[in-house]
């Protein structure tokens, strides 16, 4: 299992992403860290599910630009 520090290092977004930009997020709860299986965006101080627009009920601890399965960034 990946350590918390290593997972956080993989989600290297600094500060807040540009409003409305779909990104991958890392969340944390009492059991540890986990990546949500859907893109999210940050708008007006809230994280939202990019597909449904619903507000996340999770604690986001990191974000990064989406990556393809081969490791390349989806957006440049």
Q: What is the DSSP letter of 39?
A: -
Global confidence as pTM:
0.81
Q: Are 45 and 36 in contact (CB under 8 A)?
A: no
Is the torsion defined by CA of 52, 53, 56, 60 positive or negative? positive
Averages of pLDDT over each 10 residues, the chain, 76 residues:
84 90 95 95 96 95 81 49
Residue 66: CB atoms within 10 A of its CB come to 13
Tokens of residue 23, six digits: 């990104």
Domain definitions of the chain by residue range? 4-13+20-64
> For residue 53, which phi and psi values (nearest 5 degrees)?
85, -5
pLDDT for position 71: 54
pLDDT for position 75: 46
């Amino acid at each position: 299992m990946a350590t918390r520090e290593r997972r956080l290092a993989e989600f290297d977004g600094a500060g807040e992403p540009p409003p409305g930009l779909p990104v991958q997020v890392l969340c944390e709860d009492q059991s540890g860290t986990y990546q949500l299986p859907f893109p999210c965006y940050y708008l007006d101080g809230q994280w939202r599910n990019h597909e449904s627009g619903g507000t996340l009920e999770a604690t986001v601890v990191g974000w990064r630009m989406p990556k393809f399965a081969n490791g390349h960034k989806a957006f440049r």
